[in-house]
Amino acid sequence: MSAPNIETIVSLAKRRGFVFPSSEIYGGLGSAWDYGPLGVEICNNVKQAWWRWMVHERDDMEGIDSSIILNRLVWKYSGHEDTFSDPLVDCRECNARLRADKLNLTEKGKEELIVAGHHELADLPETERTLKTWALNIKDGRLKCPNCGSTNLTEPRSFNLMFRTTIGAVADEDDPTALAYLRPETAQGIFINFANVLTTMRRKIPFGIAQIGKSFRNEVTPGNFIFRTREFEQMEMEYFVRPGEDERVHQEWIDYCFNWFITLGINASNLRFYEQPKEELAHYAKRTVDIHYRFFPEREEDERQWDELMGIANRTDFDLKAHSKKPEDAEGKRINPDSTEDLSYFDEATKERYYPYVIEPAAGVNRTVLAVLMDAYSERTNDKGEKRVILKLHPSLAPIKAAVLPLAKNKPEIVGMAKAIKRSLQPTMRAVYDDTGGIGKLYARQDEIGTPFCITVDHQSLEDEAVTVRDRDTWEQERVKVADLQQHLLARLQPAVRSEQGV
Which residues are at the interface with ligand GAP (CB under 6 A)? 185, 187, 217, 219, 228-229, 232, 234, 236, 308-311, 360, 362-364, 366-367
Give least dist CB 215 to ligand GAP, A. Answer: 7
Residue 346: Cβ within 10 Å count: 9
Among residues 339 and 368, whose Cβ is nearest to ligand GAP? Answer: 368
Give least dist CB 125 to ligand GAP, A. Answer: 21
Q: Could you tell me if 329 and 375 are in contact, meaning their C-beta atoms sit under 8 angstroms apart?
A: no
**DSSP codes of every residue in 62-75:** EE----SB--HHHH
Among residues 397 and 431, whose Cβ is nearest to ligand GAP? Answer: 397
Alpha-carbon distance 500 to 396, whole Å? 8
Among residues 230 and 411, whose Cβ is nearest to ligand GAP? Answer: 230
Among residues 67 and 95, whose Cβ is nearest to ligand GAP? Answer: 67
Write the CB contacts of 103 (distance below 8 Å, at least 6 apart in sequence): 89, 138, 143, 144, 145, 146, 153
Q: Quick one: which of 488, 485, 499 has its CA closest to 396?
A: 499
The bridge status of strand 271-275 relative to strand 231-241 is unpaired
Distances (CA, A) of 62 to 53, 58, 200, 368: 12, 9, 11, 22
Report the residue count for the chain.
503
**DSSP codes of every residue in 130-161:** HHHHHHHHHHTT-EE-TTT----BPPPEEEE-
Q: By Cβ distance, which residue is nearest to ligand GAP?
A: 364
> At how many degrees (to 10) do helices 365-376 and 6-16 cross?
100
Q: Quick one: which of 203, 287, 213, 290 has its CA closest to 249?
A: 287
Among residues 365 and 418, whose Cβ is nearest to ligand GAP? Answer: 365
Among residues 208 and 311, whose Cβ is nearest to ligand GAP? Answer: 311
Return the SS3 of 427: coil
Alpha-carbon distance 263 to 49, whole Å? 10
What single-letter amino acid sits at 299?
R
Give least dist CB 187 to ligand GAP, A. Answer: 4
Alpha-carbon distance 192 to 211, whole Å? 13
Give least dist CB 365 to ligand GAP, A. Answer: 8
Alpha-carbon distance 308 to 275, whole Å? 11
Among residues 236 and 375, whose Cβ is nearest to ligand GAP? Answer: 236
Give least dist CB 419 to ligand GAP, A. Answer: 40
Give least dist CB 334 to ligand GAP, A. Answer: 26
Q: What is the DSSP letter of 329?
A: -
Give least dist CB 92 to ligand GAP, A. Answer: 27
Among residues 236 and 500, whose Cβ is nearest to ligand GAP? Answer: 236
The values of phi and psi at residue 234, to 5°, are: -115, 155
Among residues 271 and 421, whose Cβ is nearest to ligand GAP? Answer: 271
Give least dist CB 141 to ligand GAP, A. Answer: 30
Residue 369: Cβ within 10 Å count: 24
Return the SS3 of 312: strand
Q: Could you tell me if 209 and 343 are in contact, meaning their C-beta atoms sit under 8 angstroms apart?
A: no
Give least dist CB 340 to ligand GAP, A. Answer: 24
Alpha-carbon distance 2 to 379, whole Å? 9
Alpha-carbon distance 119 to 109, whole Å? 18
Among residues 263 and 501, whose Cβ is nearest to ligand GAP? Answer: 263
Give least dist CB 213 to ligand GAP, A. Answer: 11
Give least dist CB 232 to ligand GAP, A. Answer: 4
Among residues 309 and 429, whose Cβ is nearest to ligand GAP? Answer: 309
Among residues 121 and 313, whose Cβ is nearest to ligand GAP? Answer: 313
What's the Rg (C-alpha) of the chain? Answer: 26
Q: Quick one: which of 38, 497, 49 has its CA closest to 260?
A: 49
Give least dist CB 66 to ligand GAP, A. Answer: 13
What single-letter amino acid sits at 77?
Y
Among residues 290 and 447, whose Cβ is nearest to ligand GAP? Answer: 290
Alpha-carbon distance 284 to 273, whole Å? 20
Give least dist CB 303 to ligand GAP, A. Answer: 18
